[in-house]
């Protein structure tokens, strides 16, 4: 077993958030803007999101003690930090959660609170550029591209290998972070990760996990939602409309 990677690495998307609920409603009505007053960092979990987090925590708690996470790292965004807290509260992980901003949500800049319809209507020149460059390389004004997220994740994942080699690490983060982590860990191409994003919505509180091998980390679960179903929690995912455009 290599000494430069965790023994296990779980990447968990946060539970359903208020923004996920509002965005689903907005897309269903072709609205241009979300009815949301929070900063992105302050968006809380919905009641279903809290239910999902507890359900996932109970699934982790059922694992043998030597197979459960012994290190917990979370994005400092409220929805991710609260998910980690609830997982720990039911015995699924240690209660000492380390917040790491490198696992934060992709920053949307000018596009925050806007739906696809709002971006097309209010900023057609930026939408046209996004279609030209593709979702991986396009950076919204004041925000980040997927490539920017991957860049900060390279440093964060290297730190996991340095600081938590041989440990069992749970990271609670966000949809784009899960996808970009796969891109980095599995050395994917732009085409490969964009195709995965086009065909998969990363569900709230889904599990993506890796095991250590002599050659590094190997994927063994992606977008795994059985823990929620087993615990009777709803499975939800924010509609990933723009992933299917262009």
**What would the pLDDT profile of 55-105 be if each residue is shown by its tens digit?**
999 999 999 999 999 999 999 999 999 999 999 999 999 999 999 999 999
Mean pLDDT, the chain, integer: 93
Domain boundaries, the chain: 8-244
CA atoms within 13 Å, Cβ hemisphere of 246: 18
Mean pLDDT of 1-21: 89
Question: Under CATH, what is the fold of the domain 8-244?
Answer: Rossmann fold (3.40.50)
Q: For the whole prediction, is pTM greater than 0.75?
A: yes
User: Cα 176 to the chain's mean position, in Å?
Assistant: 5
Neighbours of 45 (CB within 10 A): 26
pLDDT above 80 for 167: yes
pLDDT above 70 for 241: no
- What was the pLDDT predicted at 122? 96
Task: Name residue, tokens 């609920």.
Answer: 21
Beta strands in the chain (DSSP E): 8-13, 71-74, 97-99, 168-173, 207-213, 216-224
pLDDT in tens, 92-136: 999 999 999 999 999 999 999 999 999 999 999 999 999 999 999
Question: How far apart, in Å, do the first and last CA atoms of the chain sit?
Answer: 42
pLDDT above 90 for 24: no
Give the C-alpha separation, 197 to 77, whole Å.
22
Q: Is 216 left (phi over 0), alpha (psi -120 to 50) or beta?
A: left
The H or E element spanning position 160 is helix 146-163
DSSP, res 143: S
SS3 208: strand
Asked whether 150 and 156 are in contact (CB, 8 A), the reply is no
């Amino acid at each position: 077993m290599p000494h430069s990677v965790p023994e296990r690495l779980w990447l968990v998307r946060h539970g359903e958030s208020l923004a996920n609920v509002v965005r689903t409603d907005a897309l269903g009505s072709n609205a241009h803007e979300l009815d949301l007053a929070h900063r992105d960092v302050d968006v809380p979990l919905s009641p279903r999101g809290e239910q999902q987090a507890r359900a996932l925590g109970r699934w982790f708690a059922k694992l043998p003690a030597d197979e459960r996470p012994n290190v917990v790292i979370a994005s400092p965004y409220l929805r991710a930090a609260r998910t980690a807290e609830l997982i720990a509260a039911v015995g699924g992980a240690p209660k000492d959660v380390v917040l790491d901003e490198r696992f934060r949500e992709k920053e949307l800049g000018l596009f925050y609170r806007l739906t696809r319809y709002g971006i097309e209507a209010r900023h057609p020149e930026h939408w046209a550029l996004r279609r030209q460059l593709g979702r991986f390389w396009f950076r919204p004004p004041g925000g980040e591209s997927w490539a920017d997220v991957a860049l900060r994740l390279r440093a964060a994942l290297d730190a996991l290998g340095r600081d938590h080699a041989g440990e069992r690490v749970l990271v609670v983060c966000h949809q784009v972070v899960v996808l970009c982590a796969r891109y980095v860990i599995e050395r994917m191409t732009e085409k490969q990760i964009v195709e995965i994003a086009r065909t998969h919505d990363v569900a709230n509180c889904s599990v993506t996990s890796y095991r250590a091998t002599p050659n590094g980390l190997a994927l063994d679960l992606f977008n795994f939602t059985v823990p929620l179903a087993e615990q009777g929690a709803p499975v939800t995912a924010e509609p990933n409309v723009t992933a299917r455009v262009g």
